[in-house]
Amino acid sequence: MLRDFQAPIVNEIYTAWHEGDIALMPVMPTGSGKTVVFCKVVLDYNAPSAVIAHRQELVSQAALALNRERVPHSIIAPKQVIQQTIALEHDLQGHSCFSSRAPVRVAGVDTLRNHDARDRWLSQVQLGVIDEGHHVLRENKWGRAVGMFPNARWLFPTAHAIRADNQGLGRQADGFVDRLVLGPYGRQLINRGFLTDYRLICVKSDIDFSDVPIGASGEFNMPKLRAVTHKSNQIVGDVVKTYLQYAAGKLGVTFAVDKEEALKLRAAYNAAGVVAEMITDETPIHVRGQYMRKFRDRQIMQLVSVDCLGEGVDVPAIEVISMVRKTASWQLMCQQFGRALRVMVDEGYWANWGNYSDVERLAIIAYSQKPKAIIIDHVGNLIWHARLRGLPDSRQDYSLLRGERNTRKSDAIPLRVCLECKQPYEAYLLLCPYCGSIPAVAARSSPEQVDGDLFELDPAVLKAIRGEADRVVGPFHAPTGLDPRIVHSIARKHDDRRRGQLSLRHWLMVWGGWQKHRGLSEREAQKLFFFKYGIDYLSAQGLGVTEADALEERIRAELTAANIYEMKAA
């Protein structure tokens, strides 16, 4: 049965197809039921369909997703993989809907390249699904797989419609997507009790990533990334020590940079009495299934992962994530982050989860075994990405066109890590909200150096900014000796700027009043304004007509989105 936020997504998919769009990208956070949605569509479609996974070990995960929703399916894979997947379905779900004659087939993208082109099923397929659809571009192997099914409509579900390499997912750019189908973002689902909230722990390490370049793919150069990670004298010990300090006894997944580092981490966990196993893309399917079963039964407490368990995995038992693999990929970081956010409650509650109110769900989670997930970041992933896009559960802006890599998202608020309690918090706050410690302030000679905190500016700089702001709305003083026509033109421009500024300042006051209502101090509101709009509160009052109008439009859009409206006097 679909959740109340999943049904509108399915309905929008059908509407978009009816309106002529062929390829759609449903965007839903990790853990919110992307597989439930596409399985529902596959069942409704009741036609030959192809579900394509991008790695061999994820074929079994895709089959398990279909099996969980009781969709009859076949598998295009080596015989051993098929047998192991069927056994895994019985082992983990108590049944198997595998049928060699089923019109719904699961295949790996690399397996399809060698599939018999004469197979009539290829032309019969009316629906294609490629999970983690952000991988699909016209000129890559996923795009070539799409071309094998000439009569299919497509779903490309993903958690975030973003690529690290700057290429566009839309048909008018580098991909196939005609329309985004946007579901709720992560924080909305956390606030409703469909995902678990989290606690962040950021641990400073001795690894220097400053000289590791980012390649054309948008990811760090892997040989150099591995090299600097291996140079660390403390990372392995810190990972185990931090886990024991903040999450002892909880089921965890640790994401490592490579097998060499994973072996060290596994050994260190086991030496500390934490039973751990390593999973890589080479781990056989049946062994992976055994590990997952022991993990759920708490016979294994840590799974150390190398380039897997980030996609296509549904393990609600995960209580803690340890990031030990630096990544420039927003997608990868979010996928790893999201592994711990699935709700972990008793089956009796879960069977009726959609029937509870938001308040009831949140109360049940609060008293569950996992009231909050724990995310431990040893390599600075969260802080690095937050400067551009905020936290993984924040609202995101997407485009199907090519985009400028590392373009800052307008409302992304940078994070600061508390030196006392190691927890990150939004940098506009004057105190750590967790332990109350006060961060040190460095330079004070410009608004940028103090994040728009005008109370921390050098008095001379502050005076200069205020002087310009006052001049803009003050009376016009005509220069002497100029042609009257020139004076008139200057006066008219001054008047236009004055009117624009008075309007902007009105909305600045409305925005500031809203922040005061939210409980922010004036300093915190000014810092928040700087992070959101890239200009400090006072400098905004010196903008010209065009810039002032644009800023006012952005402020009013934020107020409207938050249902903040100006009350008119009767």
SS3 per residue for 400-451: CCCCCCCCCCCCCCCEEECCCCCCEEECCCCCCCCCCCCCCCCCCCCHHHHC
CB of 416 closer than 8 Å to CB of 425: yes
Region for residue 390 given its phi and psi (left: phi exceeds 0; alpha: psi -120 to 50; beta: otherwise): left
CA dihedral (324, 327, 333, 335) in degrees, to 10, reads -90
Q: Considering the chain, what percentage of its residues have pLDDT values greater than 90?
A: 45
Pairing of strands 198-202, 373-377: parallel
Q: Residue for token digits 């890599």?
A: 405
Q: Which residues fall within 8 angstroms of residue 100, CB to CB, at 6 or more apart?
A: 74
**Which of the residue ranges 256-260, 293-297, 412-416 would you say has the lowest mean pLDDT?**
412-416
Length of the chain: 570
The more confidently predicted of residues 440 and 211 is 211
Amino acid at 337: F
Condensed to tens digits (0 to 9), the pLDDT of residues 503-554 reads: 888 888 888 889 888 888 888 888 888 888 888 877 788 788 888 888 999 8
Amino acid at 495: D
Asked if residue 449 has pLDDT above 50, the reply is yes
Q: What is the pLDDT of residue 406?
A: 47
Condensed to tens digits (0 to 9), the pLDDT of residues 13-58 reads: 999 999 999 999 999 998 898 888 999 999 998 899 999 987 766 7
From-to residues of CATH 3.40.50.300 in the chain:
7-183, 188-393
Give CA angle at 197 (193, 201), nearest 5°.
Answer: 175
Pairing of strands 153-155, 302-305: unpaired
Helix (H) or strand (E) holding 515: helix 484-517
Q: What is the pLDDT of residue 93?
A: 85
Task: Phi first, then psi: give them for residue 18, nearest 5 degrees.
Answer: -60, -30
CB of 180 closer than 8 Å to CB of 25: yes
Bridge partners (DSSP) of residue 72 are none
Q: What is the pLDDT of residue 385?
A: 87
Asked if residue 300 has pLDDT above 90, the reply is yes
Q: Rounded to an integer, what distance in angstroms lies between the CA atom of residue 264 and that of residue 324? A: 12
Q: Rounded to an integer, what distance in angstroms lies between the CA atom of residue 475 and that of residue 12? A: 55
**Which of the residue ranges 314-328, 405-419, 499-513 would you say has the lowest mean pLDDT?**
405-419
Other C-beta atoms lying within 10 Å of the C-beta of residue 143: 17
Q: What is the pLDDT of residue 386?
A: 85
Amino acid at 74: S
Q: What is the pLDDT of residue 57?
A: 65
The more confidently predicted of residues 427 and 336 is 336
Instruction: Please report the DSSP string for 455-511 in residue order.
Output: GGS-HHHHHHHHHHHHHHHS---PPTT--HHHHHHHHHHHHHHHHHHHHHHHHHHHH
Other C-beta atoms lying within 10 Å of the C-beta of residue 121: 16
Asked if residue 466 has pLDDT above 60, the reply is no
Give CA angle at 557 (191, 197), nearest 5°.
Answer: 15
Task: Phi first, then psi: give them for residue 425, nearest 5 degrees.
Answer: -150, 165
Bridge partners (DSSP) of residue 376 are 201, 322
Q: Rounded to an integer, what distance in angstroms lies between the CA atom of residue 242 and that of residue 323? A: 12
Q: Where are the beta strands (DSSP E) in 132-206?
A: 153-155, 179-182, 198-202
Count of helix runs (H) and strand runs (E) in the chain: 20, 15
> 3-state class of 111 per DSSP?
helix
Amino acid at 327: T
CA-wise closest residue to 252 among 186, 326, 191, 339: 339
Bridge partners (DSSP) of residue 129 are 51, 155
CB of 282 closer than 8 Å to CB of 306: no
Helix then strand then coil, % of the chain, to nearest 5: 45, 10, 45
Bridge partners (DSSP) of residue 98 are 73
In what order do the strands lie in the sheet containing 252-255? 198-202, 373-377, 320-323, 252-255, 302-305, 276-279
Asked if residue 555 has pLDDT above 60, the reply is yes
CB of 188 closer than 8 Å to CB of 181: no
Q: What average pLDDT does the structure give for the chain?
A: 86
Q: Which residues fall within 8 angstroms of residue 356, CB to CB, at 6 or more apart?
A: 193, 349, 364
CB of 299 closer than 8 Å to CB of 123: no
Asked if residue 462 has pLDDT above 60, the reply is no
Q: Rounded to an integer, what distance in angstroms lies between the CA atom of residue 257 and that of residue 262? A: 7
Asked if residue 273 has pLDDT above 50, the reply is yes
CATH 3.40.50.300 fits 7-183, yes or no: yes
Q: Rounded to an integer, what distance in angstroms lies between the CA atom of residue 143 and that of residue 137? A: 5
Alpha-carbon distances, residue 549 vs 252, 360, 469, 473, 515 (angstroms)? 50, 45, 16, 15, 21
CB of 124 closer than 8 Å to CB of 99: no
Bridge partners (DSSP) of residue 198 are 373
Report residue 142's pLDDT band, with 50, 70 and 90 as the boundaries.
very high
CA-wise closest residue to 157 among 50, 45, 26, 31: 26
Q: Residue for token digits 């759609």?
A: 24
Q: What is the pLDDT of residue 476?
A: 59
**Answer CATH for 188-393 from 2.40.128.50, 3.40.50.300, 3.40.50.2000, 3.30.2130.10:** 3.40.50.300
Report residue 426's pLDDT band, with 50, 70 and 90 as the boundaries.
confident
Q: What is the pLDDT of residue 420?
A: 80
* CA quadruple 213, 216, 218, 219: dihedral sign: negative
Bridge partners (DSSP) of residue 26 are 181
Helix (H) or strand (E) holding 25: strand 23-27
CA-wise closest residue to 393 among 372, 416, 420, 379: 372
Condensed to tens digits (0 to 9), the pLDDT of residues 374-400 reads: 999 999 999 888 878 888 998 888 889
